[in-house]
C-alpha cells in the first residue's frame, strides 16, 4: 500500500471547528507509529475554554502560529497534549487530539503505554501524546512537512458523533456547552461517550 499523502496547510487554514470535524479518520505518523484520529475538540477564537483566552505567551505561542503547527503543552505536570494550530497565521485557534486508534507500530505503542491493551492504549489526549512520544520540543513543528510528526490523509469516516468538550467547567456556559467535540461513530476508541450524539450526514 502506498503512503497516504500529507494533509496540506490549506486543510488546517480553516476555522478550528471545521478542521476538528474533518480530522476524524485522518492519521498521524511519528517514526514507527501511525494512528488514526478518532476524537478531537475545537478551541476557537474568543473561546473562554481555550488556552488562547488570556492572550499570547511563550507557552501557547504555537496556537497563533502557522496552520498545521503543533502545540504541545504539559497538563497536571504529567500529561503532554497534542494540538494542531488552525485558521490563518496569527489567529489563536487550534484543535486538540483526544483519542486515536492504532494503525501501525502497535508493539511500540503498547510498550510506551506501559503494556496496556485495547482502547486504554489511546483513548485520552495524554495517552495519544505518550504513544506518539511527543514532548515540548515538538512545539511549532509543522505536521504538513515531511519528517518527524506528520499528518496524513485517511479513510472517510462512516459516521460522526458530536457533543460538548471535556474538562472545561471553568469556561463560560455558552462555550462549556458548545458541541465542539467530534468523535468517530461505532468505535471503542473514544475517551468519553457521554454527551455524544450522532451528527446528521453532511450534504454532498
Partner DNA sequence: ACAAGGATCCTCT
Partner DNA sequence: GAGGATCCTTGTT
**From the list 10, 45, 104, 120, which residue makes contact with DNA (rule: CB under 7 A)?**
120
Closest approach, Cβ 204 to DNA, in A, equals 31
Interface with DNA, residue 100, by CB under 7 A: no
Interface with DNA, residue 57, by CB under 7 A: yes
Q: Which of residues 77-96 bind DNA (CB under 7 A)?
A: 77-79, 81, 83, 94, 96
Element (H, E) at 100: strand 94-104
Query: Residue 4 or residue 179: which is nearer to DNA going by CB?
Result: 179
As a whole number of angstroms, the distance between CA 113 and CA 194 comes to 24
**Biggest CA-to-CA distance, the chain:** 47
| Coil vs helix vs strand at 176 | helix
Q: Are 129 and 84 in contact (CB under 8 A)?
A: no
For cell 496556537, name the residue.
63
Interface with DNA, residue 117, by CB under 7 A: no
The three cell numbers locating residue 51: 488556552
Interface with DNA, residue 60, by CB under 7 A: yes
Q: Among candidates 141, 137, 41, which has minimal Cα distance to 93? A: 41
Query: Residue 5 or residue 118: which is nearer to DNA going by CB?
Result: 118
Binding site for DNA (CB under 7 A): 41, 43, 49-52, 57-60, 63, 73-79, 81, 83, 94, 96, 114, 116, 120, 124-127, 136, 166-168, 170, 191, 194
Amino acid at each position: 500500500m502506498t503512503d497516504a499523502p500529507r494533509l496540506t496547510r490549506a486543510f488546517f487554514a480553516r476555522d478550528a471547528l471545521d478542521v476538528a470535524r474533518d480530522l476524524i479518520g485522518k492519521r498521524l505518523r511519528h517514526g514507527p507509529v501511525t494512528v488514526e484520529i478518532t476524537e478531537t475538540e475545537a478551541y476557537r477564537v474568543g473561546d473562554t475554554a481555550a488556552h488562547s483566552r488570556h492572550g499570547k505567551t511563550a507557552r501557547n505561542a504555537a496556537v497563533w502560529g502557522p496552520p498545521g503547527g503543533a502545540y504541545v503543552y504539559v497538563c497536571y505536570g504529567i500529561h503532554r497534549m497534542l494540538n494542531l494550530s488552525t485558521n490563518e497565521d496569527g489567529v489563536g485557534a487550534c484543535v486538540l487530539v483526544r483519542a486515536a486508534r492504532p494503525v501501525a507500530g502497535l508493539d511500540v505503542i503498547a510498550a510506551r503505554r506501559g503494556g496496556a491493551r485495547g482502547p486504554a492504549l489511546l483513548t485520552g489526549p495524554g495517552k495519544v501524546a505518550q504513544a506518539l512520544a511527543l514532548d515540548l520540543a515538538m512545539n511549532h513543528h509543522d505536521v504538513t512537512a515531511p519528517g518527524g510528526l506528520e499528518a496524513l490523509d485517511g479513510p472517510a469516516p462512516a459516521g460522526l458523533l458530536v457533543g460538548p468538550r471535556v474538562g472545561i467547567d471553568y469556561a463560560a456556559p455558552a462555550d462549556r456547552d458548545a458541541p465542539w467535540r467530534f468523535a468517530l461513530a461505532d468505535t471503542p476508541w473514544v475517551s468519553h461517550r457521554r454527551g455524544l450524539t450522532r451528527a446528521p450526514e453532511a450534504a454532498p
